[in-house]
Amino acid sequence: MSRRGESDGRAGSPRGVILDLDGTVYLGENALPGAVEAIAALRAYGLPVVFVTNKPLEPAAAYAAKLTRLGIPTGSDDVITSSRVLGDYFARQAPRARVFVIGEPPLQEEMRRVGLQLTEEPAEIEYVVAALDRTFDYRKWNIAFRALKFHDARLVATNGDRTCPVPGGEIPDCAGIIAALETSSGRQVELIAGKPSPQMIRAAAARLKVRPEQCMVVGDRLETDIVMGRAAGARTALVLTGVSTRAEARRQPKPPDLILNNLGELAERLIENQPPGTRRAERL
């Protein structure tokens, strides 16, 4: 007989929680309802938490500082960004590669930090790195195009999102830049580091010191957060404080394990479902 929660082959109750940021923990400069209290309760209960974001616009330290400012004390190692995952990929696969970065200064800095050489000379470029870049222009497009089309450079990207949520709406994200490069050069992107890639959840689970299938992934987007968690065998929870709706979740061939009105409900659900005898949070 298997005990409660162990019958599906996953390792009982989750042993760590992977949380999306925008639309899950906060929106703009405001924490979402219940988020601060829920994260404090999970941590008090002994469930470690790590944050993941596809946004390459700021270094992890800036997101950690923002969380801390909102009442969620966080160190920069507990924020996994798509730029960091891409940096780790280069450190393993192609250290010291010559790259052309379509991206903003924090991403360029991350690429330099791992030892890559940044260049704008098409014949020298081994990799074109595509990311959300609010200064993307024809000059950058043409450098990347020439490297990809005529010098056999490879194309990788931080994330594949069509849009990026910002206060008051959305702005175009990396998918359009990837499309511009692919369409003009005839080349295909080889790696997209951000959610829903397996590299992203592996990096987050490694930080939690557990396996991906021992995690609970919580996010507001079905096609990134939930797809990533399900593909890795993790439990998943959709929060309805961001992009995806309950109706969309129910139409999925593989819907999330939980659909929550907000992150505040997560602590109640997870802590309720811990096996008897484990430590209870003093207060929710």
Catalytically active residues, by annotation: 20, 22
Nearest to Mg ion of 189, 217 (CB atom): 217
Binding mask 1-20 for Mg ion (x = CB under 5 A): -------------------x
CB of 225 to Mg ion, least distance (A): 7
Q: Which residue is nearest to Mg ion (CB)?
A: 23
Question: Radius of gyration over alpha carbons of the chain, in Å?
Answer: 20
Cα gap 222→275, rounded to integer Å: 28
For residues 207 and 17, the answer to whether their CB atoms sit within 8 Å is no
Cα gap 236→133, rounded to integer Å: 30
For residues 213 and 21, the answer to whether their CB atoms sit within 8 Å is no
Nearest to Mg ion of 55, 84 (CB atom): 55
Cα gap 78→190, rounded to integer Å: 27
Instruction: Give residues 20-59 in contact with Mg ion (rule: CB under 5 A).
Output: 20, 22-23
Stretch of residues binding Mg ion (CB under 5 A), selected from 58-66, 145-153, 205-213, 237-245: 237-245
* DSSP-assigned states of every residue in 126-190: SEEEE---TT--HHHHHHHHHHHHHS--EEEES---SEEEETTEEEE-HHHHHHHHHHHH-----
Nearest to Mg ion of 220, 265 (CB atom): 220
Nearest to Mg ion of 128, 260 (CB atom): 260
CB of 55 to Mg ion, least distance (A): 9
# of chain residues touching Mg ion (CB under 5 A): 5
Is 212 near Mg ion (CB under 5 A)? no
Give the distance from CA 96 to its chain's centroid: 25
Is 161 near Mg ion (CB under 5 A)? no
Cα gap 38→272, rounded to integer Å: 13
Nearest to Mg ion of 27, 116 (CB atom): 27
CB of 282 to Mg ion, least distance (A): 30
CB of 69 to Mg ion, least distance (A): 19
CB of 48 to Mg ion, least distance (A): 20
Cα gap 230→223, rounded to integer Å: 11
Stretch of residues binding Mg ion (CB under 5 A), selected from 140-148, 189-197, 235-243, 262-270: 235-243
Is 220 near Mg ion (CB under 5 A)? yes
Q: Give me the amino acid identity at 90.
A: F
Is residue 209 exposed (0-12), middle (13-18) or buried (19+ Cβ within 10 Å)?
A: exposed
Q: Residues in the site for Mg ion, rule: CB under 5 A?
A: 20, 22-23, 220, 242
